[in-house]
Amino acid sequence: MKTAMLSPIERTCLHWISRGWTVADIALIEGKRAAEIQACVERAVISLNAESLEQALEKAKLTRSD
């Protein structure tokens, strides 16, 4: 099975989401627009061939802390 490759920002976004941060929070600390962060999250879900954000977090071996 081929391992999905996430960009550094996609992995960072998933990491922060797993810690309970919102897209707006991540945008603020990364100095990007919320729409850019949302797009990164969506790309990560697609890259991981996941059907949901929760599934993407599982596949990336991250768990949501909330």
- Domains of the chain, first to last: 8-59 (1.10.10.10)
Classify burial at 40, counting beta carbons within 10 Å of its beta carbon; exposed 0-12, middle 13-18, buried 19 or more: buried
**Which token pair is 25?**
């929070």
pLDDT tens string 43-65: 999 999 999 999 999 999 887 66
Q: 27 and 66 in contact (C-beta within 8 Å)?
A: no
This prediction has a pTM of 0.86
Average pLDDT, the chain: 91
